[in-house]
């Protein structure tokens, strides 16, 4: 996993534990408490290239459908509805997944997977359009593919303002418009397929990175448990809990589950299982 992939995975969820004060901004407020973190970082999807490419796909798809489907070749509007719906699903599931990152890694990953699936579905529609026109999608060694592959998004360096991100996206749309919004539907369809593949690749790598972060840092349930134990340990310490005979750290009351002392309380080191220190219970503190 590259450093960039790990950064994108973390950027999907910038440090934000408090709600925004404005309905027009998602800018997180600074932390003011020293208590253990329970709600994880979330909401940084605008900082990722995958979201930027998915936005390009969505806007290009709405333009493509307006130009190339009408009541004659899509009388019920089903093709347009499916294509625009798939592009929108990819975009909005990234937004929701990022918003849920603070409390559920599983939900976050599932929503990113749905976003990727929606992109693959949309790619199928563009492939069908080209085949129906009697043309195969560009090969990777096609000069047109190579000339378009050099076009890349700038990394968004702005804040969390919707206005600032919209300005950025308008500038990126203008850069990619000669291909993605080309009036020739064959060029447009091929270019959109290139960007869909690029977005899917980025999402796959970010999902892998998020899984690795979860392995290292744990999830919401673990943070709740750790916060509760920390509060209990602090209370015990304030009431005179003994120190560990092995490491000198704090101790907590535990109940023996097996052996001749099963059901009886004893003091256990708070750093268990790293430290095995214990003391006998003498009536409590």
Each residue's pLDDT tens digit, 184-203 = 999 999 999 999 999 999 99
Together in a domain, 186 and 249: no
Together in a domain, 270 and 157: no
Together in a domain, 268 and 177: no
Name the residue with higher pLDDT: 244 or 52.
52
Q: Is the peptide bond before 273 cis (omega within 30 degrees of 0)?
A: yes
Distance of CA 133 to the CA centre of its chain: 37
Which residues neighbour 14 within 8 Å (Cβ) at sequence distance 6 or greater? 28, 41, 42, 43, 44, 47
| Other Cβ atoms closer than 10 A to 246 | 12
- 215 pLDDT tier (thresholds 50, 70, 90): low
Together in a domain, 150 and 244: no
Together in a domain, 136 and 273: no
| Strand order through the sheet with 265-269 | 251-255, 265-269, 278-280
Together in a domain, 88 and 168: yes
Residue with tokens 């929108």: 88
Is-contact 61 32, C-beta < 8 A? no
Does residue 228 form part of some domain?
no
Together in a domain, 13 and 92: yes
- 232 pLDDT tier (thresholds 50, 70, 90): low
Does residue 180 form part of some domain?
yes
CA distance readout (Å), 260 to 8, 86, 257, 263: 53, 63, 9, 9
- Residue 146 has a pLDDT of 86
- Number of domains, the chain: 2
Together in a domain, 148 and 54: yes
Q: Distance between CA 56 and CA 170 in Å, rounded?
A: 10
Exposure string (b/e) for 267-284, b if CB count within 10 Å is 16 or more?
A: bbbbeeeebebbeebeee
- Residue 131 has a pLDDT of 97
Residues paired with 265 in a beta bridge: 255
Name the residue with higher pLDDT: 77 or 53.
53
Does residue 156 form part of some domain?
yes
Together in a domain, 250 and 213: no
Q: Which domain holds residue 93?
A: 3-219
* The last residue of a domain, from among 169, 185, 219: 219
Kind of pairing between the strands at 265-269 and 251-255: antiparallel
- Residue 13 has a pLDDT of 40
Does residue 225 form part of some domain?
no
pLDDT for residue 170 is more than 80: yes
Structure tokens at 189: 């369809």
Does residue 134 form part of some domain?
yes
Together in a domain, 162 and 253: no
Together in a domain, 11 and 109: yes
Together in a domain, 249 and 207: no
- Residue 226 has a pLDDT of 59
Q: Distance between CA 144 and CA 147 in Å, rounded?
A: 5
Does residue 106 form part of some domain?
yes
Q: What are phi and psi of 45, to 5 degrees?
A: -60, -30
């Amino acid at each position: 996993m590259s450093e960039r992939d790990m950064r994108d995975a973390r950027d999907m969820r910038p440090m934000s534990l408090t709600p925004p004060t404005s309905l027009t901004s998602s800018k997180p407020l600074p932390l003011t408490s020293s208590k253990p973190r329970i709600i994880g970082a979330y909401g940084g999807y605008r900082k990722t290239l995958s979201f930027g490419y998915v936005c390009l796909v969505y806007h290009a798809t709405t333009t493509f459908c307006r130009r190339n489907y009408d009541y004659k070749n899509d009388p019920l509007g089903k093709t347009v509805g499916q294509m625009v719906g798939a592009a929108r699903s990819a975009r909005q599931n990234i937004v929701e997944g990022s918003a849920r990152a603070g409390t559920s890694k599983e939900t976050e990953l599932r929503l990113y997977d749905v976003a990727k699936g929606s992109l693959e579905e949309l790619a199928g529609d563009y492939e069908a359009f080209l085949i129906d026109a009697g043309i195969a999608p560009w090969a990777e060694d096609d000069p047109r593919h190579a000339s378009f592959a050099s076009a890349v998004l700038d990394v968004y360096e702005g804040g969390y303002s919707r206005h600032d991100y919209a300005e950025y996206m308008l500038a990126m749309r203008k850069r990619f418009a000669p291909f993605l919004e080309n009036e020739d539907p064959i060029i447009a369809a091929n270019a959109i397929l290139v960007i869909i593949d690029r977005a899917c690749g980025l999402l796959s790598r970010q999902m892998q990175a998020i899984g690795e972060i979860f392995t290292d840092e744990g999830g919401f349930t673990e943070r709740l448990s750790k916060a509760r134990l920390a509060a209990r340990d602090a209370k015990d310490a304030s009431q005179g809990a003994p120190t560990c005979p092995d490491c000198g750290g704090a101790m907590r009351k535990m109940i023996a589950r097996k052996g001749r002392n099963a059901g009886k309380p004893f003091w256990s080191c708070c750093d268990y299982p790293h430290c095995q220190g214990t003391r006998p219970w003498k009536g409590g503190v």
